[in-house]
Amino acid sequence: MSKIINLVLILITAVLAYWLYSSIKEPIAFNEILEKRKLGVIANLKKIQIAQDVFRMVTGQYANSFDTLVDVLENGKIEIVKLEADPSDPTNQDKFVKSVSYVLAKDSIKSLLGDISISDLRYVPYSNKKQFDIDADTITQQNNLLQVVQVGTRYKDFMGKYGDPRFKKYNKFYDPEKLLKFGDMNSPNTNGNW
């Protein structure tokens, strides 16, 4: 009889030890995955932010679709204006000679971001090819027409099985519906919310 009680106690101890291990393992795994995936998405958003800045140098506005962004970055040119003092009149410093040259946008992107596929920037890492939400427009602020842009994705789009609201209990700042983004459609800034 005492052997049976000992076996039952050992079995109960094993089940409790496994339950304790599982209850500690899940929050640690969740926070590790959250940090890793968030950093990957932020890295892509920073690249898109640079691509939007180059697009704006070419067109004077932000792209409101990835197809437009890719097309202009592949085929567009950035105008470089250089003002120099007039060499024919060195005594008059108020006269300038304007020279204009052009640089291919794709060369600028390559020098800023390295050898990347511009068309693949649209895809959210860890999401099975879901695309970032992208929007651009103009707003009027203090009688000025300003360009605005916003690019982002919801946490649930890249968190996989951890995109469920029940994981909020492991991180008080985690909300699977929250946008990880840069820019704002109501304000002319391109800051990220990370």
Domain edges within the chain: 2-68+122-183
pTM of the model: 0.78
* Structural contact between residues 60 and 76, judged by C-beta atoms closer than 8 angstroms: no
Q: What angle do CA 82, 83, 84 make, to 5 degrees?
A: 120
Q: Which two tokens stand for residue 33?
A: 């995955």
Q: Tens digit of pLDDT per residue, the chain (194 long)?
A: 788 887 777 888 888 777 777 777 888 888 899 999 999 999 999 999 999 999 998 998 999 999 999 999 898 888 777 777 766 666 666 677 777 777 888 888 888 888 888 888 899 999 988 999 999 998 888 888 889 999 999 999 999 888 888 888 888 888 999 999 999 998 888 888 88
Number of alpha carbons in the 13 Å side-chain half-sphere of residue 122:
17
